[in-house]
Amino acid sequence: MTGLTPRNFFVAALLVFLIVLPVYAGIAGKPFLITLFTRIIVLAMAAVSLNLIMGYGGMVSFGHAIYIGIGGYVVGILAQEGFLSGFLQWPAALLVSGLFAATIGALCLRTRGVYFIMITLAFAQLLYYVAVGLDRYGGDDGLTMYTRSEFVRPLNMSNKTQFYYVCLILLFGVMALVWKVINSRFGMVIQGSRSNDLRMQAIGFPTYRYRLVCFIIAGMICGLAGALLANHTEFVSPAMMHWTRSGDLIIMVVLGGMASVVGPVIGAVALLVLEEVLSGVTEYWQIILGPMLLLVVLFARGGIDGLLAKVGTKVRR
Amino acid sequence: MLLFLEQCLNGLQLGLMLFLLAAGLTLIFGIMDLVNLAHGSFYMIGAYFAATFTALTGDFLLGAALAFAATLLVGMAVEVIAIRRLYGRDHLDHVLGTFGLILFFNEFVRLVWGPAGMSVPVPAWLNTHFQILPGVEYPTYRIAIILVTLLVALFLYVLVMRTRLGMLIRAGASNREMVGALGVNINLLYTLVFGLGAALAGLAGLMQAPILTVQIGMGENILILAFVVIIIGGIGSIRGAFIAAILVGLIDTIGRSFLPDILRLLLSPRSASAISPAMSSMLIYFLMAVVLVLRPQGLFPVSNK
Amino acid sequence: MSQPLLQVDNLAKRFEGIVATDDLSLGVAAGELHAVIGPNGAGKTTLISQLAGQLTPDSGRIHFEGRDITALPMYRRSSLGLARSFQITSLFLDLSVLDNVALAVQAHAGHSFRFWRNARSEAVLREPARAALERVGLGGRADLPASALSHGEHRQIELAMALVGAPRMLLLDEPMAGLGPEESARMVEMLRALKKEVTILLVEHDMEAVFALADRITVLVYGRVIASGAPAEIRANAAVREAYLGEAEAEGAGHV
């Protein structure tokens, strides 16, 4: 849907808001906003990567957050061992995430539907225990990063605003990448596979290998998000990759809308802003999260993005 | 040797617990074609109810019976209020919706019972040891658990093999017309089945309560194990669930207790103690990965669902 | 008969004690339309599934163009020229009609590890798809979502998708299922025209269509071949009449 519909207007406004946020935060004297929205942007990136396999590919993974952990630990471990260059750390995070995704995907993608969901959950648990067992790197207590990734001056990752814009540019890059991939021949195979995998095989596509490549791409993007998150919090721990974190990502994707590239971004913003606002009101705010998710599933399956699109059609009529 | 025997019994007990959960999941999936992620929540609620009712009445058996009944009622209520709107939908919708229920229950429990865990004391009359072989003693309470679960397993066997309801389960029927053709009130049937599944999970939870800590999120850890059982056993098969559950219970328990020693033979003591806790946890996942590679449909797959 | 295009030898398949395919042998010559008929439960769809590669036979051999394809995975068979349509509509309902057929084109247009170019803008994919849709009469409906079309039109999309790969042989599983009289007549005409270019194995219940189109007919009962031959022979065969056509005659079906 192109043109100035309410939905497109909203999306454009959101993206503009993200671009000018640090300026606003500076003027309003609220630097914590930059911190908050950096986190939102990084998790939005992870959610976009999840939507690639979930919304477009129909592969519901309850273990996607492990790549956040993997990317984070690669950066954390390299930093601990003295390799501080971002030029080494970040590509390493991508590579290692990709390798894990290849291995896990190769096993999990032999199943589908309910089985697939259960198996990704089990693998998430497995890798969580591996991380807990990493005594040398903090185990359950986690690993503190004393220096952020180093690049070339004047790029300084410890500068909040600079780091924010690096993350935002990478998010936009990821969104553009996913958009391109989804509309390419490869993307058509992925979408067809979601729609009717049996039929795809009948017409001649070896769908397993395409889905595996898609899985790997999503894992690598999420690994990058992990590397960014590690820099942001200057701390990595197994909790980053617990299966409930994967659940958070799923909520973002469903809440925001699975049918577009920007949907998960909307979902990430909505969820995390809601968390920020409501946790100030009561510590039991999460109790509405569950029923809210159920209601979205039952009545607003297209998420916020879907609802906005409907607003457009109602207005036109 | 004594230790080995004791660990075997512990493994059997864990396996039977897992069977209760896996059987409930399989029942619900087999009859209603519903994936219930919140199954672990009933396990947790059963344990919390047991803690509260035991403290209130001062009697474990009474507390347990009340907890069982309460979980059954909660299960049926959840079915009527939330679950029945999910029938016939995509499995993804089931997963998302019931995941929402997990979040709700975890917070609800935190609200009502507080964030700290609870404990349930082992009832005095069961807090003894029983001599199963000359010189081999084993906690009576754990024996009681094994006996109770075997009874439940027997009941399920009779249910699945000898009743019309069981016929539906075995046929893998999730077809409302076929169920209706047997002259059954579908809504009531579904509510009862879901309640039964929830009650089984609650039973497992309340029995485990005196042995483990009762805490928020306890359901999810064991739920994942139950999923592994179903993956290994084959979804839809109660027989597969039983065998896989015992297998998983034994491997996990015996592995955990003997793996450190085995590792110490192969590696330096320091490395062994560093990696053995993590490796012990990972054992059953390795098993699951092996099964996935060799037989992706599970060991006892129910054909064509 | 010179070497048949499709040769099935002693095919057998059991499911948990039920024999779905029982020592089944048949041959389809190039250029013919070979119909497979039989009462419900005769194992017709099971047969097609094995020919298409969705199911693996317990024993027996399938040869296509002289090549043993018994164990060949499903996705490889269409590249050999063996295409299949489904009994129950099996399309990509959330994509457009054109997307559906374009995917079938894409399957034969080399590998799809292309990540950059917008697939919907590629003429090499879209043009043949539009052409196939024109051929089955859906040219004007190409840009609608597939879910918006009627059941009969879904059958037409199915056919378009099967045609796109220029297959040597089509396995058609009850293409008339659920069609009204007008749509059925249209489908019969389409198949009659198609016959001239493609060898067809047709599984059908619709006796009028079968006798109008088939060059040869094989009759299955409980997974076993009870008769095979020209339509006139089958019509005259006592065993067939009893097992199958008897019902149809009792219902007052017409005869040619």
Chain-chain contact of C90 with A198 (C-beta, under 8 angstroms): yes
Q: Which of B86, B103, B235 is opposite residue A289, by nearest beta carbon?
A: B103
Contact of C55 with C66, CB cutoff 8 Å: no
Is residue C203 pLDDT above 80, yes or no? yes
Domain count, chain A: 1
Chain-chain contact of A186 with C104 (C-beta, under 8 angstroms): no
Q: What is the pLDDT of residue B292?
A: 77
CA-nearest residue to C17 within chain B is B303
Q: Which chains touch A (3 or more CB pairs under 8 A)?
A: B, C
* Greater model confidence, B133 or C174: C174
A110 contacts chain B (CB < 8 A): yes
Contact of C143 with C173, CB cutoff 8 Å: no
Give CATH for domain B2-294. Answer: 1.10.3470
Chain B to chain C Cβ contacts (< 8 Å)? 3
C94 contacts chain B (CB < 8 A): no
Question: Domain coordinates of chain B in residue numbers?
Answer: 2-294
| B171–chain C nearest CA distance, Å | 12
| C55–chain B nearest CA distance, Å | 11
Amino acid making up residue B14: L
| C101–chain B nearest CA distance, Å | 25
Q: What is the pLDDT of residue A147?
A: 85
Q: What is the pLDDT of residue B294?
A: 80
Is residue A116 pLDDT above 70, yes or no? yes
* Greater model confidence, B228 or B160: B228
Among C7, C3, C39, C52, smallest CA distance to C224 is for: C39
B296 contacts chain A (CB < 8 A): yes
Q: What is the pLDDT of residue A317?
A: 44
Cα separation values, B37 from A114, B102, B220, B242, C51, Å: 10, 7, 9, 20, 39
B167 contacts chain A (CB < 8 A): no
Mean pLDDT of B69-98: 90
- Cβ neighbours, 10 Å, residue B135: 7
Q: C1-81+167-256 domain in CATH 3.40.50.300? A: yes
User: Crossing angle, helix A113-132 and helix B269-294, to 10 degrees?
Assistant: 170
- pLDDT tens column, B4-30: 888 888 899 999 999 999 988 888 887
Among A143, A167, A145, A220, smallest CA distance to A43 is for: A167
Please give the structure tokens belonging to residue C140: 């004007």
- pLDDT tens column, B184-222: 677 888 888 899 999 999 999 999 888 888 888 888 888
CA-nearest residue to B272 within chain A is A133
B283 contacts chain A (CB < 8 A): no
Question: Domain coordinates of chain C in residue numbers?
Answer: 1-81+167-256, 92-166
Lowest mean pLDDT among B190-199, B234-243, B264-273: B264-273
Is residue C69 pLDDT above 80, yes or no? yes
Chain-chain contact of C74 with A213 (C-beta, under 8 angstroms): no
DSSP 3-state of C17? coil
What SS3 string covers B251-282?
Answer: HHHHHHHHHHHHHHHHCCHHHHHHHHHHHHHH
Q: What residues make up the domain containing A57?
A: 36-242
Enumerate the residues of chain B whose CB falls inside 8 A of the CB of residue C15: 303-304
Residue A132 domain flag: yes
Q: Which chains touch C (3 or more CB pairs under 8 A)?
A: A, B
Chain-chain contact of C117 with A185 (C-beta, under 8 angstroms): yes
What is the complex's ipTM, to 2 decimals? 0.85
**C:116-155 residues touching chain A, CB 8 A cutoff:** 116-120, 122, 125
- pLDDT tens column, A44-85: 999 999 999 999 998 989 999 999 999 999 999 999 998 888
Q: What is the pLDDT of residue C255?
A: 44
What SS3 string covers chain A?
Answer: CCCCCHHHHHHHHHHHHHHHHHHHHHHHCCCHHHHHHHHHHHHHHHHHHHHHHHHHCCCCCCCCCHHHHHHHHHHHHHHHCCCCEHHHHHHHHHHHHHHHHHHHHHHHCCCCHHHHHHHHHHHHHHHHHHHHCCHHHCHHHCEECCCCCECCCCCCCCCHHHHHHHHHHHHHHHHHHHHHHHHCHHHHHHHHHHHHHHHHHHHCCCHHHHHHHHHHHHHHHHHHHHHHHHHHHCEECHHHHCHHHHHHHHHHHHHHCCCCCCHHHHHHHHHHHHHHHHHHHCCCHHHHHHHHHHHHHHHCCCHHHHHHHHHHHHHHC
| C16–chain B nearest CA distance, Å | 8
Chain-chain contact of A189 with C112 (C-beta, under 8 angstroms): yes
Q: If you write DSSP's letter for every residue of B36-76 in order, what string do you get?
A: -TTHHHHHHHHHHHHHHHHHHHS-HHHHHHHHHHHHHHHHH
| A285–chain B nearest CA distance, Å | 8
Q: How confident is the model at residue A229 (pLDDT cuts 50, 70, 90)?
A: very high
Across chain B, mean pLDDT equals: 83
B281 contacts chain A (CB < 8 A): yes
Kindly report the pTM of this predicted structure.
Answer: 0.84
- pLDDT tens column, B151-189: 998 888 888 778 877 776 666 555 556 666 766 677 888
B303 contacts chain C (CB < 8 A): yes
What whole-number distance in Å separates Cα of residue C190 and Cα of residue A159? 70
Task: Find the distance separating the first CA and the last CA of chain B, reported in whole Å.
Answer: 44
Residue A280 domain flag: no
- pLDDT tens column, C6-15: 999 999 998 8
